[in-house]
Amino acid sequence: MNKKQIGITLGIMCLILTFGVTLQIRTMNSASSTASQTLADNELRDSVLKWKEKYDNISEELKRAEKVLEGVRQTATQDNVTASAKEEELKKNQTMLGLTDVKGSGIVIELQDGKLDNSFLTIAEPSKVLVHYEDLLSLVNELRNSGAEAIQINGQRIVNTSAITCEGTVIKINGERIGSPFTIKAIGSQALLYGQITREGSYLNTMKDTGVDVVSVTQEDEITIEKYTGTMNFKYIKSVK
C-alpha cells in the first residue's frame, strides 16, 4: 500500500472517530439535560405538595375558628339576659375606675395663688399665698372623706392611681402640668360636700387664712367630669381565680 492510500485510510478513520466522539458528546448532553429536567420537576412537585399541605392545615384551622365564633354568637343570642347583665357590670366597673365621663350634682371650688402685699405674713413667708401640691392632696382627701364619688382638677380626673406631685415649682397631676387658677369639681351630696369644705377649721379655710385666694365655692345641680385618659398599671396586685 503506497503513502497516498495510507493517508486516505487514516483520513477516513479520523473522520469516523470524530463523528463517533461528537455523537457520544451529544448523547451525554442529552442525558444530562433530561436528568436535570427530571430533578427540577421533582423539586417543583415536592414544593407544590408542601404548600398544599400548609394550605390544608390553615383551612382546617380557619374552619375550627369559624365554628368557635359561631358558637359564641349563638350563646350571645340565646342568653341576652346574661350578656346584658355582664355589660351593665362592665359599665359600672368602668365608672368606678373613672374610665367613663360622668355627671351629677356636687360642688365646684375655684381658687388661685394669692397676691403678695406689704403684710408681715407675705413678707416673711411669701410661699404661703401659693397653692402647693400638698394643698391639692389635702383637698382631694377631704372631698373623698365627705363622700365625693368623682373628682377633677383642671381637667384631670382623680382616680385610685392618680399622682399629684411637684417638680420644682411645677405641679403635675397624672403626669400633666397644671397651674393657677385651679378649678376643682366634685360630684356627690351637695349639702355634705359644701358643709364639710366650708366649715370652720376646714382645710380650704386654712388656706384662705394663709393668703390663698379662694374665689368661690358653689353648689351645682349638674357637673360633668371627663373620664381618665391615662394608663393604669398595676405592679403588685393580681386577681384571685
Average pLDDT of span 31-43: 61
Same domain, 216 and 128: yes
Residues near 166 by beta carbon (within 8 Å), at least 6 away in sequence: 132, 133, 172
Is 213 inside any structural domain?
yes
State the Cα–Cα distance between residues 108 and 139, nearest whole angstrom.
12
CA-based nearest residue to 174, from 189, 144, 154: 154
- Conformation bin of residue 238: beta by default, left when phi > 0, alpha when psi is -120 to 50: beta
Question: What are 147-177's pLDDT values in tens digits?
Answer: 999 999 999 999 988 899 988 889 999 989 9
DSSP line for 127-190: GGGS--HHHHHHHHHHHHHTT-SEEEETTEEE-TT--EEEETTEEEETTEEE-SSEEEEEES-H
Q: How many residues does the chain have?
A: 241
pLDDT at 137: 94
C-alpha cell at position 130:
401659693
Is 47 inside any structural domain?
yes
Is 145 inside any structural domain?
yes
Cβ proximity of 232 and 97 under 8 Å: yes
| Other C-beta atoms lying within 10 Å of the C-beta of residue 159 | 17
Same domain, 219 and 118: yes
Average pLDDT of span 27-40: 60
Cβ proximity of 136 and 182 under 8 Å: yes
Q: What is the rounded average pLDDT for all residues in the chain?
A: 80
pTM, two decimals, is 0.62
Same domain, 107 and 221: yes
pLDDT at 91: 73
State the Cα–Cα distance between residues 97 and 226, nearest whole angstrom.
12
Is 23 inside any structural domain?
yes
Residue 120, pLDDT above cutoff 50:
no
Cβ proximity of 185 and 152 under 8 Å: yes
Average pLDDT of span 125-139: 88
Domain that holds residue 153: 103-225
Q: What band does 76 get if pLDDT is binned at 50, 70 and 90? A: low
pLDDT at 197: 95
pLDDT at 231: 76
Any idea what the Cα angle at residue 125 is, between residues 120 and 131, rounded to 5°? Answer: 120
Residue 133, pLDDT above cutoff 60:
yes
Same domain, 51 and 160: no
Question: What are 38-68's pLDDT values in tens digits?
Answer: 666 667 677 667 777 776 777 777 778 777 7
Cβ proximity of 147 and 192 under 8 Å: yes
Same domain, 43 and 121: no
